[in-house]
Amino acid sequence: MTEIFAFGLGLARYSARGAMLDCFFPQPVLQPRGEVLQAIAELPAGTSNINADQAQAIDQAVGGGIAGTTFADATRKLVAVRLDTDAAIADTAEAYLKLHLLSHRLCLPNSLNLDGIFAHLPNVAWTSVGPIAIEELPEAITKAHLNHQQLEVFAVDKFPKMVNYVVPTGVRIADASRIRLGAYLGDGTTVMHEGFVNFNAGALGPNMVEGRISQGVTLGSGSDLGGSASTMGTLSGGGNINISIGENCLIGANAGTGIPLGDRCTIEAGLYITAGMGISLVDEFGEVMSTVKARELAGKSDMLFIRDSQNGNIVCRTNRKAIELNDQLHQHN
């Protein structure tokens, strides 16, 4: 039987004009096998609409629990998405399935082909009654006021917040609006109020996140991203370089990096390392050995980046002491 890359049985919501607004996949499957593979073998590749009767066998195999859903109107439909390969995204349902694969921890950031995602994710008003098409929002707001109700509009964006679709086990999230669907949060991760995790980015866990993890960036196990610290993503000036931070690193408050870091690295508070920045390499006695561009240090471990208070130069020292997170902060059971 032909191998299939991924599958999802989803519940989609539509605008009054019939445009798909979002799609919820309670139990996405990566590389389906056995009973699941048999149940979906006759489905066409891509996205297909199916009724509850067709979905029953698939839902039982997958364990999604939505095949018995009854529909009050035509704004919700069951859809099946079968991805035979990890190809570019072809429609909204495929985009949502790949975002679910990331947030369900089935795929790591940067491991999926997300080409076409912006073209196929509609800009939607995310409200207290769910997604609303932008052109239908004024009428919805007026209707709510006429009924003495308040329609809360939380965001107008292509990406919803993750926790309305996926809540990973073993995490703490202080402000759920700052975690987009498609973020990867590993077990034991804490994201504080000012922390932000974009889609196709993540903290592999356990981690303390008080800063920004941009698209395409990963934070290795045991690393700490300090308050208002940031990482340069590929969508915002990082070019084609995927920034990753290794294990047991510390990025100080208001600091950041535009180069990948290996394990056990520290950047002092307030210092932002960019690829073209001149860095003075010093030995254990404080003597300058050479000066290099920061990009030449990309991916190396055991580095301590600090500013020389006397001349303002950026200095890199060897740092062989791993940064240990407080274990009690990451017990979320």
What pLDDT, on the 0 to 100 scale, is given for residue 238?
45
CA–chain centroid gap for 23, Å, is: 17
What pLDDT, on the 0 to 100 scale, is given for residue 324?
53
pTM for this predicted structure: 0.91
Please state, in angstroms and rounded to a whole number, the distance separating the CA atoms of residues 133 and 136.
5
What pLDDT, on the 0 to 100 scale, is given for residue 50?
84
Q: Write out the catalytic residue numbers.
A: 210
In terms of phi and psi (left: phi > 0; alpha: psi -120 to 50; beta: otherwise), the region of 200 is left
What pLDDT, on the 0 to 100 scale, is given for residue 61?
84
Question: Can you say whether the dihedral through the CA atoms of 89, 95, 101, 103 is positive or negative?
Answer: positive
pLDDT, averaged in runs of 10, over the chain (333 residues): 89 95 96 92 92 78 67 67 98 98 98 98 98 98 97 98 97 98 98 97 97 96 96 64 93 96 96 94 80 93 91 80 53 64
| Other residues' Cβ atoms within 10 Å of the Cβ of residue 26 | 18
Side chain identity, residue 130:
G
Q: Which domains does the chain have, with CATH numbers?
A: 6-120 (3.30.70.2010), 125-157 (3.30.60), 162-330 (2.160.10.10)
What pLDDT, on the 0 to 100 scale, is given for residue 311?
81
- Tokens read off for 289: 């050995």
In terms of phi and psi (left: phi > 0; alpha: psi -120 to 50; beta: otherwise), the region of 189 is beta
What pLDDT, on the 0 to 100 scale, is given for residue 105?
98
Question: By the 8 A CB rule, do 125 and 134 touch?
Answer: yes
What pLDDT, on the 0 to 100 scale, is given for residue 68?
58
The CA-atom distances, in angstroms, between 76 and each of 9, 66, 178 are 13, 12, 27
What pLDDT, on the 0 to 100 scale, is given for residue 286?
74
Q: Which residues contact 327 (CB under 8 A, 6 or more apart)?
A: none
Using alpha carbons only, what angle is made at residue 157 by residues 8 and 200, rounded to the nearest 5 degrees?
Answer: 50
What pLDDT, on the 0 to 100 scale, is given for residue 332?
67
Question: By the 8 A CB rule, do 205 and 185 touch?
Answer: yes
- Tokens read off for 254: 């208001």
In terms of phi and psi (left: phi > 0; alpha: psi -120 to 50; beta: otherwise), the region of 80 is beta
Burial class (CB in 10 A: 0-12, 13-18, 19+), 155: middle
What pLDDT, on the 0 to 100 scale, is given for residue 318?
75
Strand partners, 315: 280, 306
- Tokens read off for 272: 């932002």
